[in-house]
Amino acid sequence: MLYRLLLYIHIFSVILSIGPFFVLIPIIKKLRDAEMQVQHAYLDTFRFVVRLAKHAGHVLVISGILLVTAGPWSWGTPWILATIIILAGSLFFLARAFSPTIRSFNEQGRDKEDLVRKLNRSIWIYLGLLMIMLWFMVTKPALW
């Protein structure tokens, strides 16, 4: 019963880590033409999503550690190792990709279109990383 609860928490934290980024896709299109006041509201949405993903990621990692500890897999399982490697990269990417770019919107002389392109690219790269990890978790492939 405890293992199933941990699994549920783990899956729910995945949903909270991935889902909100899909909301940002239409917002990025609106951000291009937004006036300053509306732009701040959109950027606040970005900040919220990034913060939510970070906190959901904490729950995701902790529940993942507990699942490996209590479950039938070892730390040497290929799909777990691959996930950990991608997870480390995605955490570094998350820290560098969004917050500095969002802060740059307030700097004078910055090209808004360039910043929007960076955010758009960052969304898709981060979603790609998350979807690869999700694929490992669901299919549990024998990588080596």
Give the pLDDT band of residue 38 (cuts 50, 70, 90).
very high
In tens, the pLDDT along 52-65 reads: 998 999 999 999 99
Q: What would the two tokens of residue 73 be?
A: 């897999």
Give the span between the Cα atoms of 101 and 50, in whole angstroms.
12
* Res. 84: pLDDT tops 90: yes
In tens, the pLDDT along 20-34 reads: 999 999 999 999 888
Q: Where are the domains of the chain?
A: 2-139
23 and 46 in contact (C-beta within 8 Å)? no
Give the span between the Cα atoms of 68 and 55, in whole angstroms.
20
pLDDT for the residue 107: 84
Give the pLDDT band of residue 19 (cuts 50, 70, 90).
very high
